[in-house]
Amino acid sequence: MRKAISYPHKEGVCSKQAHADFPEGAIFEREAGRSGFFGPAAHFHHQHAPTGWSEWEGELKPRAFDCNLVESAQQLSPWLVPNLLENSDCKVKVWKISDNMEFLVRNADGDELLFIHQGKAELFSDYGHLTVEEGDYVLIPRSTSWRVEVQEPLFVLMIETTDSAYSLPEKGIVGNHAVFDPAVLEVPSINEHFKAQYSEKTTQVHVKRHNKVSVITYPFNPLDAIGWHGDLSVVKLNWRDIRPLMSHRYHLPPSAHTTFVGGNFVVCTFVPRPIESDPGALKVPFYHNNDDYDEVLFYHAGDFFSRDNIEAGMVTFHPAGFTHGPHPKAFKAGQEYKKKFTDEVAVMIDTRHALTLTEDAAKVENEAYVYSWQEK
C-alpha cells in the first residue's frame, strides 16, 4: 500500500524537522509516537529535560536489573530457569550452564531465540551440529530437540516468541541485503561431529508445553538424522555480521536496527557505528514516549553511550507510559560531540503488550535506577 503524503501541523517555535537543528533555547526534543516509531508522532521542544523528575511514586517506572546476579539462572535445563519478564507473546530470561547436557530439550510453546552473551558450546539438534559462541544469535524453531556440550561456560539471553514464529524484518527500500545479507546466516551440518553422537543409549527429551515439562524417554538418541532438506532450520547470526543503517545527518529510530520479528514484538541489535557528524543532528537517542510498546535492553559489551553506571549483563526495562532517553552526562557529551564512534553492543526487545515483572527479576533490581537521570 502506498503512503499518502501528510502535512503535519506546526505550533509555536519548533525545528524544521525531527531530531535536527533545534530552535535556540529549546535543546530538549521529545517524541510522542505510536506503533513503535511507525505511526503518527509529535515532536515537542522543551525548556527542561523530560526526564528531570525529582520524585517518583508507584510501580510504573524505569527499572534496571543485574542479570549477573540471578542465582536461579544456573541450571542444566533452560526449562528450570524462571522468566524475568513475560507476557502472553514473549518470555525473557537468562540461562547459565557450565556442564554438558545429558538429555535433550524441546520447546513446544514457541520459537526460541538464544543470544550467547558469554561462552562457547557445540549445539546438537534435529538439524545437525553447530558451534555457537559469544555474540551469536541462535534461532531454534518450535518443537526442535536440542542440547549443548559446553566448551566455555555459557551465559545466554533467551527470548521465546510464545505460540508464534520468528521472521526477518521487511527491509523495504534499502533492499534484502541491507543490515545483514541472508548469505551470512549459518545452519547446522550433518557432519562428523553430529555422526559421532549417534547412539543406542537411552535418551530423554524434556518437552516444555504451557510452561510444564513432560519427559519422553527413547531407547536410543533421537538425534539420528542422516540428512534433511527444506527451508526450516536452526539458524545462527553473529552481531559482527550486522552492518547497521546509518545517516550522518539524522539519528535513526531503534526500529531501523530490527534483527528479528516475533509475535507482537521485535528484537533489535545495536552495534558499533559512527556517530552523526552533521552539526545540527542529534547525536544521542532522542527523548521519547513510545506509548504502545514496552522497551527492554540487554547490555552485552562496550561503552553504553546513552547510559550511566550500566554494565555488561544488565537489563533495563522502560514500560510504556512515560518519557525516557539519555542520561544527563550522555546528553551533554552528545552536544559537545566529543565521541565520534559508538562501541556498544546491546539487544533490545520492544513488546506491543505490557510485560510483567517476576519475583526473580525483582531480586536483582537496582532500586535507585529511577533517579539516575538526576543531575549530579
| pLDDT of the residue at 202 | 98
Grade residue 120 by pLDDT with cuts at 50, 70 and 90. Answer: very high
Cα separation, 240 vs 243, in Å, equals 8
Q: Checking DSSP bridges between strand 212-218 and strand 28-33, what pairing results, if any?
A: unpaired
Which of the residue ranges 99-103, 201-205, 311-315, 339-343 would you say has the lowest mean pLDDT? 339-343
Q: Is the pTM of this model over 0.85?
A: yes
C-alpha cell at 9: 501541523
The answer to whether 121 touches 149, Cβ cutoff 8 Å, is yes
pLDDT digits (tens, 9 = 90+) for 174-190: 999 999 999 999 999 99
Which of these, 33, 57, 55, lies nearest to 323 by C-alpha position?
33
Which of these, 266, 286, 215, 210, lies nearest to 41 by C-alpha position?
286
| pLDDT of the residue at 308 | 67
Instruction: Please name every residue paired with 106 in a beta bridge, in sequence order, or none if there are none.
Output: 145, 207
**pLDDT beyond 70 at 318:** yes
| pLDDT of the residue at 288 | 84
Cα separation, 40 vs 105, in Å, equals 43
C-alpha cell at 154: 555459557
C-alpha cell at 214: 513432560
Grade residue 1 by pLDDT with cuts at 50, 70 and 90. Answer: low
The answer to whether 147 touches 113, Cβ cutoff 8 Å, is no
Grade residue 376 by pLDDT with cuts at 50, 70 and 90. Answer: low
Cα separation, 46 vs 43, in Å, equals 10
The CATH number of the domain covering residues in 28-64+244-371: 2.60.120.10
Which of these, 185, 97, 210, lies nearest to 146 by C-alpha position?
97
**pLDDT beyond 70 at 81:** yes
Each domain of the chain, given as residue ranges in start order, spans 28-64+244-371, 71-239
pLDDT digits (tens, 9 = 90+) for 86-102: 999 999 999 999 999 99
Cα separation, 13 vs 158, in Å, equals 46
Grade residue 19 by pLDDT with cuts at 50, 70 and 90. Answer: confident
What rounded mean pLDDT belongs to the chain?
91
**Which fold would CATH assign to domain 71-239?**
Jelly Rolls (2.60.120)
Please, what sign has the CA dihedral across residues 116, 119, 125, 127?
Answer: positive
Output the DSSP codes for 153-177. Answer: EEEEEEEEEETS--BPPP-GGG-TT
**Is there a shared CATH topology between the 28-64+244-371 domain and the 71-239 domain?**
yes
Task: Give the CA angle between residues 20, 299, 74 to the nearest 5°.
Answer: 165
**pLDDT beyond 70 at 306:** no
C-alpha cell at 208: 516444555
pLDDT digits (tens, 9 = 90+) for 20-57: 777 776 678 888 878 777 778 888 888 888 888 989 99
